[in-house]
Structure 1
Amino acid sequence: MLTAATDPGAGSLPPTKSPARRAVSRIDLRHLSLLAVLGALVVVGALTKPSEFLSTDNLQLILTQASVIGVVTVGVTFVIIGGGIDLSVGAIVALASVWATTVATQEYGLPGILFCALLVGLGCGLVNGLLVAYGPMVPFIATLAMLASARGLALQISDGRTQVVTVESVLDLGLPDAYVLGIPPLVLIFAAVSVLGWLVLGRTTFGRRTVAIGGNPEASRLAGIAVKRQRLLLYLLSGLCCGIAAFMLVVLTGSGQNTNGNLYELDAIAAAIIGGTLLSGGRGTITGSVLGVLVFTTITNLFALNNLQSDVQQIAKGAIIVAAVLVQKGRTSS
C-alpha cells in the first residue's frame, strides 16, 4: 500500500499557503498598489506642472504637510487595529496647541510648550481610554464627546483668538536653517514616529496584543490578555501622538488656534483605511497608513497647483475612500 511519502502522485498536489503567508501577501500587494498610485500622482504632477511640482521647495512642502497629520494617523492606526475608533484627534490637537501657546506657558520656552502639548494630549487620551475601557462606553460616543469638549475648551482658553508664538527657539525649527541635509525637522519627527510605530506594532508584545484584541477581544481575554488595560494604553498612545502633532503644528504655523486640526479625524481614519487597516480591527500596518497619508497629501498638492476647487478635491478623496473600502471588503470575504 502506498503512503503519502511514497505515492508519486502525493507530491504533485499544489502547496498551500498558510493564513499568515496569505495575509502577508495581501499586505505587500496593498503596499505595492499604494506605491503605484503614488507614482502615478507624481507622473501627473510632472506632466501638468513640472517646474512647480518637482521643485525642491514643493517636495519639502508635501512632506511637511504630511508630517502633522501623519503623526496623528500613526496613533489612530493603533486604535483602529485594536478594535476602537478615535473621532477626537483633531479637537485634541487644537486644545493642545492652544494650551501650549498661552502667555503663561510660553514663559517656560520650548520645553514648556512641548511638555504642555504632550501632557494635554496624554490627558485627553487618558479620559478617552478610561471611558472606553472601564466606562464602558462605545468608542464612537466617548470620543465624540471628547471632540465636542476639547473644541469647546480650546475656544474658551483662546477666546476665539489666534495666540502668536514669541519663543524664538520654537520659531527657528520652522526655518530653512534648521533643516538637516535639506530635510525639515518636522519630517524627521514624522519619520521617527512612523519607524517607532512600525517597530512597536510588528516587533513587540504590545503590537501583538493590539492585533489580538482587535481581532477577537473575548478570545484575547481568555488567553490572559488584559483587554481593558490594552485599550487604555491605545488611547493614551493616540493622545500622545496628538500632543506631538500639536507641537509640530505650533512650529509650522507659529501660533495656536482653536480651529487647528479641523477634520484631522476624518483624514487620519481615511489614510488608515486606504492603507489597509480594517475598521473592524485586527489588521493593519503603519507602512500602509503612512503611504495613505502621502497619497492624500500629494492629491491636495496637485489640486492646489492646478487651481482646482476644493469641492472637487473632496469628491476625489471620497471616491478613493469608497474604492478602498470596497476592495477591502472583497478581500476580507474571499
Structure 2
Amino acid sequence: MSDSSTTPTAETPLGSTSTTPPPADTARVEAAARETAREPNPVMGALSGSMGRNAGLVLALVLICVVGTATAGDRFASVDNALTILRLAAVTGVVSIGMTFVITAGGIDLSVGAILALSSVWCTTVATQTMARDTHWIVMVFVALAVGAGCGLVNGLLVSYGKVVPFIATLAMLASARGLAEIISNRRTQIVTDIPGFAEFFTREILGVQVIIYLFALVAIGGWVLLNRTTFGRRTIAVGGNPEAARLAGINVKRHTALLYVLLGVCCGIAALMLVARTGTGSSTHGTLLELDAIAAVVIGGTLLSGGRGSIVGTVFGVLIFMTLTNVFTLNDRSISEQALLKGVIIVAAVLLQQRLASRNSTT
C-alpha cells in the first residue's frame, strides 16, 4: 500500500501535492535554522568593534610605558617626561586629526609636512612679522591658517573636480609647497623676533600644562564631535564607504571632498603655529616626513585606508603610541634607523590586522 503523504491515492485527489518536503530540502532548512539561532560571540564582537580596537591600543601604550619604565627608570616615569611626550605629540596629533577625515573619505594626503613648512615660513617672513608687530600677533595666525587652507583647497580641487588621483595630486603639492617655502626663505631659517604676546600665548602653562597640549585636546574633541555627531561626519563616512551611493543619496561628493582637504590644510596651519611658537623659527625643513607619522597614527588607530570607517579616539592613541615609542628609544640612546624599522613593522602589522578583521566581518 502506497504512502498517502507522498503519492496521490483515492483519498488524495489528483493535482494535490505532498506537505512533506524532500529530505535534502529538510536538511538545508534545519541547517539554516541552526545557523540563525546560533548566539553571536559577544567577546569577538567586542574585539572587532571600536571598543576592542581602542582597548588594544590602550594595552599597547601601557606595554610601551612598562618597557620605558624598566629600561629608562625615573627618566621615563616622570611628570616632566610625560609632558614632553604630549608636547611632541601635539603637532603630529593636530595634523593626524585632519588626516583621519581625509582617509575616512577614501583619500590620502602626502603633502601635510610641506604645507606645514610653507605655513611656518610664510607667517614668519619679515613683512608678516612687521605687520604683526605694528598691529597684533593674530596676523601671523591668520596667515598660517590661510596658507594651510589655500594649499588644502588646491589639493581638494585637483582631487574632486580635476579627478586627479589623491596620491599624485598631493605628491605634486608636497614638491611644490616645499619648493615655494625654500624660495620664500631663501633656504634660511627665519627667526621670530619682537612679536609681543605670540610666543607667550602658545608657551604659557595652565595648571602646569602648556597651551599647545590644550589646543591638541580641543582639536581632538572638535574632530570627534564633527565626525561622530554631525551630518558632515556622516557624509564623510558615506563618501568613503561608497562614493556613488553617497552621490545618489544627494551628497555633493566633489564639494565635500574639497572641504575635507581644506580642513586638513587648516590643521596643518594650526600645527605650523604650534611649531613656530615652540622653536621660535619658520623653516622650509619643518615637518619633514610628518606625513608618514600622521598616516601611520591614523592607520594604527583603526581608520581604514580604503575609507568608510574612522576613529578620532584611535588616532589620538596612535599618536601617543608613536611618540611614547620615540621617547623610549631616545632615552635608551637607540638610533633613528631602529625607530624607523620598528615603526614600519607596526604599520604593516596594523594593516594586516585590518584586512583580517575586514575579511572576517564580510563572511559573517
Q: Please say whether Structure 1 and Structure 2 have the same fold, judged by a TM-score greater than 0.5.
A: yes
Structure 1 stretch displaced more, 161-170 or 81-90: 161-170
Tell which structure's C-alpha radius of gyration is larger: 2
Change over 3 Å in CA distance of 1:64–1:94 after alignment to 2: same
Aligned to 1:139: 166
Aligned to 2:114: 91
Q: CA deviation at 1:25?
A: 5.0
Equivalent positions of 1:29-108 (< 5 A) are: 29-107=52-130, 108=132
Q: Choose the corresponding residue for 1:248, options 262, 271, 274.
A: 274
Determine the C-alpha separation between the residues in 1 that align with 2:155 and 2:208. 38
Q: CA deviation at 1:14?
A: 3.9
SS of the equivalent of 2:109 reads coil
Q: Does 1:285 align with 2:311?
A: yes
Determine the C-alpha separation between the residues in 1 that align with 2:162 and 2:255. 12
Aligned to 1:161: 188
Determine the C-alpha separation between the residues in 2 that align with 1:181 and 1:198. 25
Determine the C-alpha separation between the residues in 2 that align with 1:47 and 1:193. 33
TM (norm. structure 2) is 0.85
Change over 3 Å in CA distance of 1:198–1:17 after alignment to 2: farther
Q: Does 1:327 align with 2:353?
A: yes
Aligned to 2:261: 235
Q: Choose the corresponding residue for 1:151, options 158, 167, 178.
A: 178
Gaps of 5+ in 1: 1-8
Q: Choose the corresponding residue for 1:216, options 242, 245, 250.
A: 242
Determine the C-alpha separation between the residues in 2 that align with 1:43 and 1:146. 40
Q: CA deviation at 1:277?
A: 0.8
Determine the C-alpha separation between the residues in 1 that align with 2:118 and 2:358. 38
Contact 2:192 2:280 (8 Å CA) reproduced: yes
Aligned to 1:312: 338
Gaps of 5+ in 2: 1-32
Determine the C-alpha separation between the residues in 1 that align with 2:249 and 2:37. 36
Determine the C-alpha separation between the residues in 2 that align with 1:182 and 1:170. 19
Structure 1 stretch displaced more, 52-61 or 145-154: 52-61
Q: Choose the corresponding residue for 2:233, options 198, 201, 207.
A: 207
Aligned partner of 1:207: which letter? Answer: G
Q: Does 1:26 align with 2:53?
A: no
Aligned partner of 2:52: which letter? Answer: L
Aligned to 1:170: 198
> What percentage of aligned pairs have identical amino acids?
56
Determine the C-alpha separation between the residues in 2 that align with 1:293 and 1:315. 17
Determine the C-alpha separation between the residues in 1 that align with 2:97 and 2:327. 21
Q: Choose the corresponding residue for 1:258, options 271, 284, 291.
A: 284
Q: CA deviation at 1:170?
A: 1.9
Determine the C-alpha separation between the residues in 1 that align with 2:328 and 2:59. 16
Aligned partner of 2:108: which letter? Answer: I
Q: CA deviation at 1:248?
A: 0.6
SS of the equivalent of 2:197 reads helix
Aligned partner of 2:82: which letter? Answer: L
Equivalent positions of 1:269-284 (< 5 A) are: 269-284=295-310
Determine the C-alpha separation between the residues in 2 that align with 1:24 and 1:187. 30
Aligned partner of 2:157: which letter? Answer: L
Task: Give the number of equivalent residue pairs.
Answer: 321
Q: CA deviation at 1:182?
A: 1.1
SS of the equivalent of 2:206 reads coil
Aligned partner of 1:247: which letter? Answer: L
SS of the equivalent of 2:308 reads coil
Aligned to 1:196: 222
Contact 2:202 2:274 (8 Å CA) reproduced: no
Aligned partner of 1:32: which letter? Answer: A
Q: Pairwise CA RMSD of aligned residues?
A: 1.8
SS of the equivalent of 1:49 reads helix
Contact 2:46 2:52 (8 Å CA) reproduced: no
